[in-house]
Amino acid sequence: MTNQAPQPIANTIVEAAKRLGVGRTTIYELIGARQLRTFKLGTRTLIPESELTRFVEERMGVAA
């Protein structure tokens, strides 16, 4: 049995950018255009993993 670290359910801006393979500026543009939803935890802006999945799935539907 392998001990894997649990997957996060929310990502920072930098983590979300890495997950999508884009830069931070692109993430901020997507947030500004209301294409990605966020929430605040203290001073941190977080993007739920489910939101990244939804975003990609919508783009795949547009491309198909």
Q: Residue 2: inside a domain, yes or no?
A: no
Q: Residue 5: inside a domain, yes or no?
A: no
Q: Residue 3: inside a domain, yes or no?
A: no
What's the total number of domains in the chain?
Answer: 1
- CATH number of residue 52's parent domain: 1.10.10
Q: Residue 4: inside a domain, yes or no?
A: no
Measure CA 59 to chain center.
14
pLDDT band per the 50, 70, 90 thresholds, residue 8:
confident
Q: Residue 16: inside a domain, yes or no?
A: yes
Range of the domain at 40: 10-63
Return the structure tokens found at 49.
């993993």
Residue 23 carries which DSSP code? -
Q: Which of 49, 55, 21, 18 is nearest to 36 (CA)?
A: 55
Which residues on adjacent β-strands are paired with residue 40? 45
Per-residue pLDDT of 11-52, as tens digits, reads: 999 999 999 999 999 999 999 999 999 999 999 999 999 999
pLDDT band per the 50, 70, 90 thresholds, residue 5:
confident
Whether residue 7 is predicted with pLDDT greater than 90 in this model: the reply is no
Q: Residue 1: inside a domain, yes or no?
A: no
Q: Tell me the backbone φ, ψ of residue 31, rounded to 5 degrees.
A: -65, -45
Whether residue 63 is predicted with pLDDT greater than 80 in this model: the reply is no
